[in-house]
Amino acid sequence: MIKQLLLTGVIIASRNLCNLSCDGFVVISRNSLKNRYIPSKATSTNLKAVQVSGLWNAGNKFGKGPFRYYDGFEKWMEPFPQTDRDAMPEYFQIPEGAYEIIMNKPCGIVFEEMEIGRGVKVTELVEGGNAAKLGDAIQPGDVLIGVTAVKNVGAKWERRLIPAINLSFDTVVAAIGSNEPRWGCSNVILMFARNEYSDEIETFMDFFEPPSDNPWKL
């Protein structure tokens, strides 16, 4: 029997509700990283080719620069030079079968966990909710592949789009809940895949994976 929980404006449906945490910060548990896709050497090399200075700041530079706040894919990619766009066009457009939604909370989305501790998909939209008001933009069966989240280090903070395909539902709830006005957030940004999580979408989402030495990587 599927249980439903309304928390931080999002309804999560799961067969196993436990250990929910939503204090305005994202904490990705070790369990949520199991079975994570590991980019091939060729893919990793390509990703390095399109990374610009300040894309992943750490230490005293964390929370600074043009990449400290994700406010939509087009704006996020503006600092990259045209040479990168010409060399790696697949990273500069959302692939076919995927889409990004910028919306207000509460979202009014019913999510169901696809596997225990790994991935969520849309099962229905709450009647009259913010998602339903978008018409057919979000549909049952759509898989959440990315979500904006806020992370703080000391007095500094950043909002980024983080890959969600391998996140547990409680981590997704915490991520959505962290988009609060106190961090300058007036919305939450969700990225979905329709029908299937293709190789093209998987490669695209690798771009948002933090390096091993960055505070976002746990």
Question: Mind listing the pLDDT tens digit for each residue in 68-80?
Answer: 999 999 999 999 8
How far apart are the C-alpha atoms of 82 and 179, rounded to whole Å?
Answer: 31
pLDDT recorded at residue 157: 94
Question: 3 pLDDT band (50/70/90 cuts)?
Answer: very low
Residue 52 has pLDDT above 70, yes or no: no
Share above pLDDT 70 across residues of the chain, in percent, rounded to a whole number: 75
Dihedral angle of Cα 118, 204, 161, 23, to the nearest 10 degrees = 10
User: What DSSP designation does 144 have?
Assistant: E
- The average confidence (pLDDT) of the chain is 79
Span of 3-7, 116-120, 172-176, 202-206 with lowest mean pLDDT: 3-7
Q: What is the mean pLDDT of residues 163-180?
A: 94
Q: For residue 192, what are the β-bridge partners?
A: 99, 144
pLDDT recorded at residue 53: 61
Q: Which residue has the higher pLDDT, 10 or 24?
A: 10
**Is 170:18 a contact under the CB 8 Å cutoff?**
yes
Strands in 15-106 per DSSP E: 98-103
Question: 51 pLDDT band (50/70/90 cuts)?
Answer: low
Backbone angles phi, psi at 27, to 5 degrees: -125, 110
* pTM of the shown model: 0.79
Q: What is the mean pLDDT of residues 185-191?
A: 96
